[in-house]
A and B are shown apart, each in its own frame.
Chain A
Amino acid sequence: MVICARTGAAGVHRHGRFPQKRRGCELANLLANIFGKSPVKPLEKHVGIAFRCTKQLNGFFRAVVAGKWDKAAEIRDAIAALEHEADDLKKEIRMHLPKSLFMPVPRQDLLELLLVQDKMANRTKDVSGVVMGRKLQIPKPIAKEFLTFVSRNVDAAKQARKSVRELDELFATGFRGAEVSMVESLIDELDKIETETDDLQASLRGSLFEIEDTLDPVTVIFLYQVIELTGEIADMAERVGRRLELLLSH
């Protein structure tokens, strides 16, 4: 019984042969090896990045409305970087969730939660891409209403983050009891915000319809598309809530 030089674990280390696998040190780590890498904190971190990404949209559209395209381009880069960061973390979480993992909730449900979280960031990137690519002007008459709509979508993403951040407490209580009702109320609030964005979206479309004759037809088509894509951020946030609810029902 010799002690592993590298980790201090008992066992003889085969120097040089499989340094990264630390084969020789497993004996003492039988207990340590039962524990898989928990996806809980990484999932919370991921939703945080996704929210930070969507949050950029407020500043982005303010810059667009003001016609500050340099500033908008800068924020657009930040959005792309955050979306990329979320993507990398998503891949890493997936990699550490092998089928042999036994968790209090089904692995598949966690993976799908991760997927919708990631889509909040994806939609953000898509919206900013369309606007940036065409230097799409938001018409003055609907600018204020548009910014409200965007910020309400960002609020939905924020509420999604707040709900997912309860995941560690849910795991701590085995998805039962007082904590569950707490999360349910958070999801109710999320649903409320999402409904609000739907209403805002409808009235924004109405306002755009009223002025569309004064605008270039191609621009109008893309404006509708931008409204659509932005609205999907709240949809994705709502789906985060649905996924969380599924976890609660186990």
Chain B
Amino acid sequence: MEEQVVYVVLAAIFGVFMAWGIGANDVANAMATSVGAKALTIRQAIFVAATFEFLGAVLAGGEVTSTIRKGIIDASLLSGTPETLIYGMLASLLAAGTWLLVASRNGWPVSTTHSIVGAIVGFAAVGVGIDAVHWGKVGTIVMSWVVSPLMAGFIAYLVFQSVQVLILRREDPLARAKRYVPVYIFLAAFTITLMTILKGLKHVGLTISVANAYLLATSIALLISLIGAFAIRRIEPDPKLEKKQHFYSVERVFAVLMIVTACSMAFAHGSNDVANAIGPLAAVIGIARTGLVGATSTIPIWVLALGGGGIVVGLATYGRRVIATVGHKITQLTPSRGFAAELAAATTIVIASGTGIPVSTTHTLVGAVLGVGLARGIEAIDLRVVGRIFVSWVVTIPAGALLAIVFFYVFKATLP
């Protein structure tokens, strides 16, 4: 029993450290869009991020956590030696954390998700055996890393095209914005709420029928949309500022919408990325409690809460500075553009979360921004970044794997 405590404590420390890192770094990308568009102040962004990251992690983070915990490895091969899985998961956490540290030292844009998946695959394939990896599942995950930015890009393209046609290109963009933005608010709120109810809530012990789920999502979205419409009605054109910037008042209407999509984005991020930190932790706790590999018990809520809490602390300590820096640099993303990117990315990520697939939030968001660009929404996009993303992929997965293998053997030799 003694060593079980050591394992759990170690896993908790590594897991919280990862969560802290995610909060300090990744969340910034999710929130900076809204800050850059001046839809939220930094203080408001921190508040939104903390609330919705936490909610996302707890309410909808279960599926991806399950995948990280037991979807990648065929645990039945390990039933005789449960401690192998414990060492492996500890090694994966440490490997992913180390790789992220090395990468940030060198300025490589790597993804937390890619690091942890690479690490788990690495330790399983070498430490246990090639057959221990669910290659089919890993294939699906890797495919999703290609599909998620493309899908987000496609949605963003359609959403922004509709904004152009319905609002921006018309003679009376302000009146049109006031009419249509509540509809977009409804869409954003509806998608996120529905996906959460349908896919996520069972981890909290709530089961709602599909029909009721649609009904509930519709009512919640309507309510949010009404509040939004109320806020929008109070926006009056400011002729002085309007002269300086033609779409000033229109953008202010979109800024209301962007508050909603910022919440969605934080929620989506929490639901997908919390798993990177606490998936391995959940696996270790599962084995330590039951002594069995592949126990079917659900993930305790407190573990999700621990991950969510870690993210919030990371956000509060360092994330705010990153948000300020990144937000300052992306002023081209005005609310009418930023909301389209956020809505597309959040929808894509929440769908991935619902199906238990870990995707990279940042890459998905980059895909969404490119989609807005293809719809002629952004003045200048530097395509060199796209190349860098591909390079970071090719390097991250083997690097995470290699480090995990090393740590795995170290733990095997030193831990009780």
Contacts and interface: CB of A to CB of B under 8 A. Distances in A.
B271 interface: no
A1 B381 contact: no
B226 interface: no
A11 B246 contact: no
B1 interface: no
A246 interface: no
Contact of B32 (A23, A32, A40, A168): A32
Nearest to A21: B107
Contacts of A108: none
A10 B322 contact: yes
A29 interface: yes
B332 A11 contact: no
Nearest to A35: B332
Interface string B355-399: 000000010011001100101111111111100110000000000
B341 to A, nearest CB: 10
A11 B20 CA distance: 14
A11 B105 contact: yes
Interface in A1-34: 1-3, 7-12, 14, 23-34
A14 B107 CA distance: 10
Given A3-B318, A10-B28, A104-B376, A179 B169 contact: yes
Interface stretch (A46-54, A62-70, A155-163, A170-178): A170-178
B330 interface: yes
B214 interface: no
Contact of B383 (A26, A38, A100): A100
B110 A172 contact: no
A168 B110 CA distance: 34
A2 B384 CA distance: 25
Contacts of B370: 34
B246 A178 contact: no
Interface in B13-62: 20-21, 24-25, 28-29, 32-33
A31 B366 contact: yes
Interface stretch (B96-104, B135-143, B184-192, B279-287): B96-104
Contacts of B333: 35
B247 A101 contact: no
A65 B31 CA distance: 62
A169 interface: yes
A132 B96 CA distance: 71
A52 B385 CA distance: 38
Nearest to A25: B107
B101 A2 contact: yes
B362 A102 contact: no
B110 A27 contact: yes
B382 A30 contact: no
B168 A30 contact: no
A27, A100, A177: residue with the most chain B Cβ atoms closer than 10 Å: A27
A32 B326 contact: yes
Nearest to B332: A35
Interface in B327-360: 329-330, 332-334
A192 interface: no
A10 B366 contact: no
Contacts of B170: 177-178
Contacts of A2: 101, 104-105
B332 A38 contact: yes
B169 A8 contact: no
B291 interface: no
Contacts of A10: 21, 24-25, 28, 104, 318, 322
A36 B169 contact: no
Contacts of A142: none
A103 B247 CA distance: 20
Contact of B330 (A35, A98, A100): A35
Interface in B300-344: 318, 321-322, 324-326, 329-330, 332-334
Interface in A177-195: 177-179
A3 B383 contact: no
Interface in A42-89: none
A186 to B, nearest CB: 14
Nearest to B389: A30
Contact of A28 (B245, B247, B326, B382): B326
B321 A8 contact: yes
Contacts of B247: 169, 172
B381 A102 contact: yes
Contact of A30 (B20, B246, B362, B377): B362
B4 interface: no
Contact of B28 (A24, A28, A38, A179): A28
A172 B250 CA distance: 11
A241 interface: no
A26 to B, nearest CB: 4
The 6 closest A-B pairs by CB, nearest first: A177-B169, A8-B321, A104-B376, A32-B329, A26-B107, A11-B104
12 contacts: A1-B25, A8-B324, A9-B321, A24-B104, A26-B108, A31-B29, A33-B385, A34-B369, A34-B385, A35-B381, A101-B383, A177-B168
Given A30-B29, A168-B245, 15 more contacts: A1-B25, A1-B100, A3-B24, A12-B101, A26-B107, A27-B109, A28-B322, A36-B381, A36-B382, A40-B379, A100-B382, A102-B380, A169-B246, A173-B169, A177-B168
Interface of A: 1-3, 7-12, 14, 23-40, 98, 100-104, 168-169, 171-179
